[in-house]
């Protein structure tokens, strides 16, 4: 049990100092040191989406893409 606690604490310290991000054209959450590279407190709304930055946490939510592609019928010869 002590080993598991040490591992969890070490992982939390690693994420805190190095930062961790999860994104794939989805809402993005960055936790740790990399979250505050541009500002410590920030809120923005632009053509790409909305976002909020607070100490050690950055959340960005992109607007959905409403384009439709690949709906064309092929011509018969």
The CA-CA-CA angle for residues 47, 36, 7, to 5°, reads 125
Query: Residue ranges of the domains in the chain?
Result: 2-62
Give per-residue pLDDT as tens, 20-59.
555 456 788 888 888 888 888 999 998 889 999 999 899 9
Mean pLDDT of 6-20: 71
Q: What is the pLDDT of residue 50?
A: 92
More confident residue, 15 or 31: 31
Q: What is the pLDDT of residue 54?
A: 92
More confident residue, 76 or 52: 52
């Amino acid at each position: 049990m002590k080993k598991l606690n040490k591992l969890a604490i070490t992982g939390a310290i690693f994420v805190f100092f190095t930062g961790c991000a999860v994104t794939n054209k989805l809402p993005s959450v960055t936790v740790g040191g990399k979250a505050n590279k541009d500002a410590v407190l920030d809120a923005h709304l632009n053509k790409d989406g909305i976002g909020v930055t607070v100490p050690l946490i950055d959340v960005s939510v992109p607007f959905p893409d409403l384009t439709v592609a690949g709906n064309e019928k092929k011509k018969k010869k």
